[in-house]
Amino acid sequence: MEEQLPALFINFALLVVSGIGAVVAVVQARAALRDAGKAETARDEAISAQKASAVALEDANRIAADARDLLRRQDARDTERHDVRWEPIWQESTGKWILGNRGQDTAFDVRMVTDATVIGEEAHEEAEVPPRSGLSIQLPARFIGTGHTPIVDWRVEWRTPLGSNLDDSGRWPVT
């Protein structure tokens, strides 16, 4: 049995070393699993960041396109032709005071406000006026043919075909 003692000792030592190796392998395997989990989490976070970046890029491109379109439209409005001239007309025989567009271009979405005084009486009119038309104020019949000229304060707002908002105002007759 003495002869087998060194072999037993060697077998026991190998068994202990194998056990230690197995423990080290288990510890390394657990560390590798933990590192793999961290790598997977990092990969998932990178994918999420990439998706968020793509959405932000799409939004930035849309905003830039909207800004370019807005600048083009503003430039077109700034150089747009808009020959609109408002001319008052007094028709004493009918008792109508008319303000009409006598320019070469159409005025869109027109809104006119007038205040007229004839011998102390006032008439107020506010209306939507079709393009190339005008607003007329019908004064009471007792003022027709009296020879009195009304004093009319007027204000008009309109839009050009490309969307510029314009306005004008005045007093008639000019005093």
Sheet-wide strand order for 108-118: 121-129, 108-118, 151-159, 165-172
**Closest of 168, 144, 152 to residue 89, by C-alpha:** 152
At residue 69, does pLDDT exceed 90? yes
Q: How many CB atoms lie within 10 A of CB 110?
A: 23
Q: What percent of the chain has pLDDT over 70?
A: 86
Domain ranges of the chain: 1-79, 86-172
pLDDT category at 62 given cuts 50, 70, 90 is: very high
The stretch 44-71 carries a mean pLDDT of: 90
pLDDT category at 119 given cuts 50, 70, 90 is: low
At residue 126, does pLDDT exceed 80? no
Q: What is the pLDDT of residues 89-111, one digit of tens each?
A: 888 888 888 888 888 888 888 88
Q: How many CB atoms lie within 10 A of CB 57?
A: 10
Among 2.60.40, 3.30.70, 1.10.10, 1.10.3470, name the CATH number for the domain at 86-172.
2.60.40
